[in-house]
Structure 1
Amino acid sequence: MGAKQRLEVVLDEDDAAAPTGPRPGAYPPGGAGEAPPPRRSGPTRAQVVALGVAAAVLLGLVGAQAVADARERDRLAALVGLPGVVADLSVAPGPVEPAAAGSTGLGSVDLDVTPPGADGVRVALRSSASAEVLGVSSSRTTLVGLDGGTVVWSRVLPDGSARGDGWWAEHPSCLPTPGDPATVTCLTGDAATRWRDTGEEHVQTWARVLVVAVADGHVVRERDLDLPAPRTLAATGSLVVEVVRHPDGTTPVDVVTARDPVTWDERWSTPVPVPGAEHGFTGSPTLRTSSRYVVVDGVVAVTVLAADDGALLREPDGSAVTGWIGGAPGDDVDLLAFGADGGTLLWSPEQQVEVDGQMLTPSVDDGSLGDLVLTSAGHDLVASDRDGTRRWRTADADAWDAVVVGGHLAVLDRDTLRGLDARTGAVRWTRDVEDGATVVATDGRAVLLHESALLLGGVLDTDPSVDLAAFDLADGRELWRTTLDGVAGVRSLDGRLVGDRTDGSTVDLG
């Protein structure tokens, strides 16, 4: 064996763990045929650490963005089904196809009875155009089943509109049958009212309740009602509620009755006074309900009953209900807002407190303002807690409409759209809009305004067009503006925009 060789190794001062000298068996330093020191082919430890940190930061940013995106998707998904919410407002709707040749130009209005069911069919009441506006002699109400904008079945509901001679017909009313999503319950009859110098006159010879299948429109069951009969129906919990006006000399009485929707058996009944009866002009009572309250609106004033047993909770005092206040969308109503002298009364059986201004009820509200109640006081916008504690007051920001989504608060007055910080009331942005603009819809990111009117001087425009503009809720930027010819109005329906033609048809705008 040969003599042992000594091998010298030179270490890099910057990284003691990274050997850089010649490989074993290479020319020793300083020897004949010495080769140049080899270049390092890999990163240093410091570089590896730096790359690792950068990768971690990048992954963190990507992960944070993914979480933010997921939360935004969840937020937008939670808006689905809320009134006034559509899927996407990022692009303006395209041109509208012209109405069919031979159109009569007589409009109609759809009033939704149910949202789309499992089979996609929704039910609506379709009423022909107002006789007072168009000068036509009669009108008709039809119950229709719709798949999108296509009528899949229809059923004419007779009423008293053919009486003429100044009689105003009480049109049929329908509601989802409590406890039975497969049917709707409709009240129809020939009740009518007309006004004379001596007061109101009422007439009715028959009334009937129809229970109609949502899927195909066939009548599941029907019942003729005794007279005097109700003029409207409502629902609370598992019960149908009716109100019947009983003449009693000069002091008529409205009797509110809750019934089983299948057997029509009475569950409770409560008589309430008719405000204004001494003056001869009382109007027709209407009902508004939640699972907690039955509100009987007697035109002049309201009475509040307990929904479970009909107990009297609030007697009429001349004030009207101006708002219903619940929690998140879909929650039950906790408080009722009543108009008061110079303010709003927040009322429940447990409390009543007064706040400044008149109640402002947003067109769209996802509940993201929490317990804040908005009122318009003079030229100011006021936010208060439900116990009456004022949170903020913003000068010159009064409004007649608002949109609340994702913590964004946009308020609209006659010709100005403002974005506010809902926590402080600070104005974030302001945009001028056309005088008289109204809120059409939101997709949670933008708000769509309607900037033209359907009626001009009380006459229906036979060559209509609609001006629309969309604004970003975050900063107020105008996203787009367009004019749609051939439609007299635009509204949201089942998460989409639809245009209403003057012949009563609708067109899907996406």
Structure 2
Amino acid sequence: MRAPRQGQVDVELVETVGDDVAPEAEPGADWRELVRRVPGRAWAVTATVVALGVGVVGAVEWRADRAQAARLAGTDGLTVSLAEPLAEVWRAPRQGVVGVVGDVAVLHGGTNQGVLGVGVRDGETRWEQPVGGAGWCWLERLGPDDRRFGPWSAPPARLEAGEAVLGCADSRSGGIDEQGTEVTVLDPAEGGVLRRFEVSGPGTGSTSDVDDGVASLGLDDEGRVVAGRWDLLTGERTWAYVGPRVDLDSQGVGSSISGDTMTVASGAVSVTLDAWTGEVVGTEGSTRPVVQELDRLPLADGGVAVSTAIGEERFEIVVQDEDGEQRFLTGGYALRPVADDGSAPQTLLLSSPKRPGIMAVDARTGDELWRSRVSSWQVAVLAGLVILRDEQRLTALDARTGATVWTREDPAPETGVRFVTDGRVLLMPVRGDGGTDLLARVAETGRELWRAPAPVAEGYLEALPDGRVLVIGSGETVVLAP
């Protein structure tokens, strides 16, 4: 007999006689026999193809994960890992973090509680001052970068000892001749009082911290518009203004200080001053609208988007190159993401009070990319998605097209719309059964990862400069970490 060739199988024919019946095959014998008949070389080829496929998929996923990790390494405002539920590290009896100076977290908030300095790692009290309880506190950076940071900065500022001073204002209420504000300037690292001064004068109706100082605006007891500015570092008054008289019996007096301008209006009289110089820059009937800068948003390519308010109703965005040359001008105001991992580098998100939802434009040309009617109180750009949060839901849009990728119904507590993120997972407060929960969702898919009771009711979330999570509730601040 010839030896079978490779791939051939010898078959023996058996003849049955009479009533003999061939035995039935065992269940499943057919497929096993077929498997045994497959040549070894075919199995080797199949195994190689499968291994190559798994390897290619694994390599692609590995590169994608490495690319995402590289993007997140350069992303500001991210938290510690949110892959698993967080545990409480410490809590303090205040409801907001002004900032972190050295190793001290400065906390403020709560009726007549004053300002408190605690160790940022352990929450132990370092110092306490009974100022700011009838007003507010803020950090003023010293030197050329003299920005201000308040308890609603997101995320809270991280400064070195000696780099800033802490200002706290306490306002007095009462009759028009009893109003005023006392400002206390402190060393935020040690809590010592550096100076005190009075932002005084009858009729101080509106007082606010401004760059390098404090400004006030209102009416005096004779009904005249009065205003002034005080230097925070010296306590000296830098300018004073006395303007037209208004009718004290008119229907109301409105005063506001915002950015570089300050305005008071009563009846037919309206005065707007430059907060730096005290010069009149706009009055009722003026043909020159007041321009107020709202925000400067740095862009990935070195440019900047400057959001401005023109008068009382119009908003504009001026997008400039790094050297200040204007690229384009458009309506609305630029949205500042809580986190942006650079996965949509040429996309500028903007909103306008005159239209619902948001719009995306090319940050180089201003050309419209897409519009969405989804509203948002907060936005993040992660893994090629624009993630939006409003009071009822969380929505992810494709950053290139604006198409909805996923949406989840997550009703927020009254004060807890904001979310925080580690770049892969989103954490937000949601209304739970009988209380508030902290809910973690995967950013790319919206899948629920974990849920836990919030440590304080009706709290909102922020991230400390070291990435730990702040839960800020009524009269309490809690720090969470893995």
Q: TM-score, normalised by structure 2?
A: 0.62
Do the aligned partners of residues 347 and 400 (structure 1) sit closer, same or farther apart at CA in structure 2, a change above 3 Å counting? same
Match in the other structure for 1:432? 409
Q: Which runs of 5+ in 2 are unaligned?
A: 1-47, 144-159
Match in the other structure for 2:74? 78
Partners of 1:285 and 1:296 within 8 A in 2: yes
Give SS of 2:100's match: coil
Give SS of 2:444's match: coil
Give SS of 1:115's match: strand
Determine if the alignment matches structure 1 residue 92 to structure 2 residue 85: yes
Partners of 1:391 and 1:424 within 8 A in 2: no
Do the aligned partners of residues 508 and 234 (structure 1) sit closer, same or farther apart at CA in structure 2, a change above 3 Å counting? same
Give SS of 1:451's match: strand
Partners of 1:145 and 1:217 within 8 A in 2: no
Do the aligned partners of residues 72 and 297 (structure 1) sit closer, same or farther apart at CA in structure 2, a change above 3 Å counting? farther
Match in the other structure for 2:451? 481
CA deviation string 1:405-435 (max 9, x = no partner): 4543111344332211222222222223236
| Displacement of 1:252 | 1.0
Give SS of 1:372's match: strand
| Displacement of 1:147 | 2.2
Do the aligned partners of residues 326 and 412 (structure 1) sit closer, same or farther apart at CA in structure 2, a change above 3 Å counting? same
Q: Distance in 2 between matches of 1:187 and 1:502?
A: 20
CA deviation string 1:387-422 (max 9, x = no partner): 994513435423333222454311134433221122
| Displacement of 1:173 | 2.6
Do the aligned partners of residues 92 and 360 (structure 1) sit closer, same or farther apart at CA in structure 2, a change above 3 Å counting? farther
Q: Which runs of 5+ in 1 are unaligned?
A: 1-50, 100-106, 130-138, 162-168, 195-200, 289-293, 454-462
Determine if the alignment matches structure 1 residue 402 to structure 2 residue 372: no
Q: Which moved more, 1:345-354 or 1:149-158?
A: 345-354
- Alignment counterpart, residue 350 of structure 2, candidates 364, 370, 374: 374
Partners of 1:98 and 1:486 within 8 A in 2: no
Determine if the alignment matches structure 1 residue 174 to structure 2 residue 130: no
Letter in 1 for 2:369: W
Alpha-carbon RMSD across the aligned residues, in angstroms, is: 5.0
Q: TM-score, normalised by structure 1?
A: 0.60
Partners of 1:243 and 1:285 within 8 A in 2: no
Do the aligned partners of residues 354 and 215 (structure 1) sit closer, same or farther apart at CA in structure 2, a change above 3 Å counting? closer
Identity %: 19
CA deviation string 1:281-324 (max 9, x = no partner): 44564444xxxxx34476999968597x7888777989997952
CA deviation string 1:156-182 (max 9, x = no partner): 2346x7xxxxxxx4x143323413842
Determine if the alignment matches structure 1 residue 450 to structure 2 residue 435: no
Do the aligned partners of residues 451 and 411 (structure 1) sit closer, same or farther apart at CA in structure 2, a change above 3 Å counting? same
Determine if the alignment matches structure 1 residue 243 to structure 2 residue 245: no
Relative contact order, CA 8 A, sep 6+: which one is greater? 2
Q: Distance in 1 between matches of 2:443 and 2:242?
A: 46
Partners of 1:379 and 1:398 within 8 A in 2: yes
| Displacement of 1:208 | 4.2
Determine if the alignment matches structure 1 residue 209 to structure 2 residue 180: no
Q: How does 1:104-253 map to 2 (within 5 A)?
A: 109-117=94-102, 120-125=103-108, 127-129=109-111, 139-148=112-121, 150-158=123-131, 169=134, 171-179=135-143, 181-182=161-162, 183-192=164-173, 201=176, 203-204=178-179, 207-212=182-187, 214-219=188-193, 221-225=194-198, 227-228=200-201, 231-235=207-211, 240-245=212-217, 247=219, 249-253=222-226
Partners of 1:327 and 1:371 within 8 A in 2: no
Match in the other structure for 2:335? 361
Partners of 1:320 and 1:338 within 8 A in 2: yes
Partners of 1:408 and 1:421 within 8 A in 2: yes
Give SS of 1:244's match: strand
| Displacement of 1:60 | 13
- Alignment counterpart, residue 391 of structure 1, candidates 368, 375, 379: 368
